[in-house]
Amino acid sequence: MKKLFAVFMVTIVFLTLSATVIAADAPLYVVINKSADQQYFIDLQNAFVAKTEELGGTAKKFDAKLDPALGVSLIDDAISAGAKGIAITVPDQTIGPAIAKAAKDAGVVLIATDDSIVDEAGAPVPFVGFDGKDMGKKVGEAAGKLLTEAGWLNDSAKKVGVLSVEVQTLSVCNDRTDNEKEQIKLVGVTDDQIFSVPYTGETLSSQDAAGPIITAHPEITNWVVFGCNDEGVLGTLNALATAGAKPDDIIGVGLGAYEACKPWAAGQPSGWKASLFISGLDVGNTAAQVLHDAVVNGVVPPEKSFAPTSIVDPTNYKDLMDAISVGNCSK
């Protein structure tokens, strides 16, 4: 009996040590976002962690809180922690060369998610995200179609204004809003009808920036709103509501759909008429796979990996958005 017990204990110790060795050998990957309070980035990081663990790795997630200095520091922390691969959505594209050099010097694979960056030589860091120009084209096309269907441009009693909500210091946002403006002009909107609303990417920032512009143009009876993300459109819609604009006099087309879908799910009238659905889940999964392939299989990360997008509205969002995203619409 004692002999059998001893064999049993040796087996337990062996299995415990084996599990410890396997855990120790599992590569560490770090995902850093720039704004952890946005649903999109929450989805991205959670998907990254889940996919990494599915592939046999371990993962940690960090928030740069829109602070460039913190973004650089978190890269250093990840390297010090022994990360083999890092995915980052930078809080500012200007830190790209510095973090690319730090990762290269440490032999760590670095990829950029959502916001593209370059290294010291000006070469692009491998990118996982969306095609900004294509996104802007789709949003602009949707806004133009809705505007044409509304007939506002042909109604002499209506004065149309377009609020383009822009993060003017971020190239990927400029790709989006520049193409949105080009598309809206194709249906008859003129340059003097378009008003730029500069913001930081956050809801309150766009609300504060849009308010004075709306107040300065009391002649405008009907507004079209689009921007770099759902937060930009949301803040501007809030500013329009404060100014007394009615939902029927607004065509808001978002980019993200995670804010747009909330009044749809609640059955509330709103200025949200459509949004481009982009899934943080898709980007998180793809980023984890790209890093795994690079670290474990020696596959050079492709220069660009794009995730799919689609326009959604109150009639089809439940069909086109994934179950997790639809569930978040009711939160």
- pLDDT digit string, tens, across residues 91-103: 999 999 999 999 9
Mean pLDDT, rounded, of the chain: 93
274 DSSP β-pair partners: 253
Give, for 106, the enclosing helix (H) or strand (E).
helix 96-106
How high is the pLDDT of residue 19?
Answer: 41
* Residue 215 token pair: 């107040």
Burial class (CB in 10 A: 0-12, 13-18, 19+), 218: exposed
Q: d(Cα 255, Cα 233) in Å, to the nearest integer?
A: 8
With contact defined as beta carbons under 8 Å apart, do 283 and 269 qualify?
no
Q: How far apart are CA 150 and CA 31, in angstroms?
A: 43
Question: Which has the minimum average pLDDT: 19-28, 48-57, 81-90, 205-214?
Answer: 19-28
Nearest Cα to Cα of residue 58 among 49, 68, 66: 49
In order of 63, 78, 284, the CA distances from 73 in angstroms are 11, 9, 22
pLDDT tens across 153-168, in order?
A: 999 999 999 999 999 9
Residues 27-85 pLDDT 10s: 999 999 999 889 999 999 999 999 999 999 999 999 999 999 999 999 999 999 999 99
- Quote the pLDDT of residue 16: 41
Cα 299 from Cα 210, distance rounded (Å): 46
Q: Which two tokens stand for residue 185?
A: 């002009």
Contact by Cβ (8 Å): 75, 86? yes
Residue 37: what pLDDT?
87
- The pair of structure tokens assigned to 186 is 């194709």
Confidence check: pLDDT of 6 > 90:
no
Band (pLDDT 50/70/90 cuts) for residue 300 is very high
What's the Cα-to-Cα distance from 138 to each of 5, 41, 134, 309, 312, rounded to whole Å?
68, 22, 6, 9, 11
Residue 294: per-residue pLDDT: 98
- The residue whose two tokens read 């609300």 is 207
Q: What are phi and psi of 63, to 5 degrees?
A: -120, 120
Q: What is the dihedral of CA 295, 299, 305, 308, to 10 degrees?
A: -90
**% of the chain residues with pLDDT over 90:** 91
Structure confidence at residue 221 as a pLDDT band (50, 70, 90): very high
Give the residues across from 87 on adjacent strands. 31, 111
Domains of the chain (ranges; CATH) run 2-130+282-300 (3.40.50.2300), 132-277+314-321 (3.40.50.2300)
The average pLDDT across 238-252 equals: 98
Starting at the edge strand found earlier in the chain, the sheet holding 127-129 runs 58-63, 28-33, 85-88, 109-113, 127-129, 304-306
Which residues are CB-neighbours of 318 under 8 A, at least 6 positions away?
326
Residue 5 has pLDDT above 50, yes or no: no
For position 18, what pLDDT does the model report? Answer: 39
> CA–CA separation, 181 vs 191, rounded Å?
9
Contact call for residues 171 and 114 (beta carbons, < 8 A):
no
Do 135 and 278 form a contact (C-beta atoms < 8 A)?
Answer: yes
Query: pLDDT class for 24, splitting at 50, 70, 90?
Result: low
Give me the pLDDT at residue 36, please.
Answer: 86
- What's the CA gap between 101 and 107, in Å, rounded? 10
